[in-house]
Amino acid sequence: MRIGTGYDAHRLKSGRKLILGGVEIEFEKGLDGHSDADVLSHAIADAMLGAISLGDIGMWFPDTDNKYKDISSLIILSEVSNLIDKNGYEVENIDSILVLQNPKVAPYIDEMRENISKVLEIDKNKISIKATSTEGMGFEGKGEGISAYAVVLLKEK
């Protein structure tokens, strides 16, 4: 068994779509980034890579490479899943937290879990996604950005 942790944060910006866990969420701002800036998928991908000491998504999907411009982070997650598979591991379970003041994402969590389970080809019940606010504190609480944390357990195949 191998365990990895992941973290990502992006600034909120007008004129961008808000994508979390591959779900487009109706909101007046989206996350600013080179890809679709899906912090949840990024945190999970980083946790997966970290669990088997393969660096982070910035090494594999640099923001200096235009082929990743506006790419769906579910594609990034899929490619990381392929790396995990090639190294003889598979995801046992994922626990993650979205940190944001607004919008409320509880109605979208099941769809996020479904998207991630399809991409990683694992049972949806192995994926936990929670959301919390910071009671107005920090950049998330002030509505300046959104962050995500993830812990992933991998097992040898």
Half-sphere exposure of 26 toward its Cβ, with a 13 Å CA cutoff? 1
Asked whether 129 and 112 are in contact (CB, 8 A), the reply is yes
Give strand ranges (E) for the chain.
2-14, 18-20, 23-25, 29-31, 89-99, 127-132, 145-156
**Assigned architecture for domain 2-156:** 2-Layer Sandwich (3.30)
> Which pTM does this prediction carry?
0.95
pLDDT tens per residue across all 157 residues of the chain: 999 999 999 999 999 999 999 999 999 999 999 999 999 999 999 999 999 999 999 999 988 888 888 889 999 999 999 999 999 999 999 999 999 999 999 999 999 999 999 999 999 999 999 999 999 999 999 999 999 999 999 999 9
